[in-house]
Amino acid sequence: MRRAVFPGSFDPITLGHYDIIERGLPLFDELIIAIGINSEKKYMFSLDERVQFISEAFKNEPKIKVMTYKGLTVEFCKQQNAAFILRGLRNPGDFEFEKAIAHTNRKMSDIETVFLLTSSGKSFISSSIVRDVIRNGGDVSTFVPDTVKVK
């Protein structure tokens, strides 16, 4: 079975994430959307909210599991018997950052990282931009799935 992990904080999930997930589905038999827990980080949305946003968005997709994890992504992949990590790239800066992580992960394990370029119409969307729009009272409906409920 080709199982992949798509890790992130998903605070919140965006249409950019959604794009990578949808396009990654044909490549794998199972895709685990893995929400990383970092106690050092301040999140806008609770872990339960983030799990709910993603679970609801993909409720009709049997190949997707939504899980949470702490620690190294490669260790989580090993626990889940996932041979692949799926990552999205929006721009050259993402590539340089993700390349270093992929090389490190590969040195630590046999887990392969698969990169997909975000579709051009969604490449500008990031969770940090979405959070900034929310903080300033803007409408984020064109940047996130309908399942994201803004407080």
Q: Which of 9, 39, 41, 151 is catalytic?
A: 41
Q: Model pTM greater than 0.75?
A: yes
- Per-residue pLDDT tens over the stretch 63-72: 999 999 999 9
The answer to whether residue 103 is catalytic is: no
Tens of pLDDT, residue by residue over 122-138, are 888 999 999 999 999 99
The DSSP code sequence of the chain is: --EEEEEE--TT--HHHHHHHHHHGGG-SEEEEEEE--TTSPPSS-HHHHHHHHHHHTTT-TTEEEEEE-S-HHHHHHHTT--EEEEEE-SHHHHHHHHHHHHHHHHHSSPEEEEEEPPGGGTT--HHHHHHHHHTT---TTTS-TT----
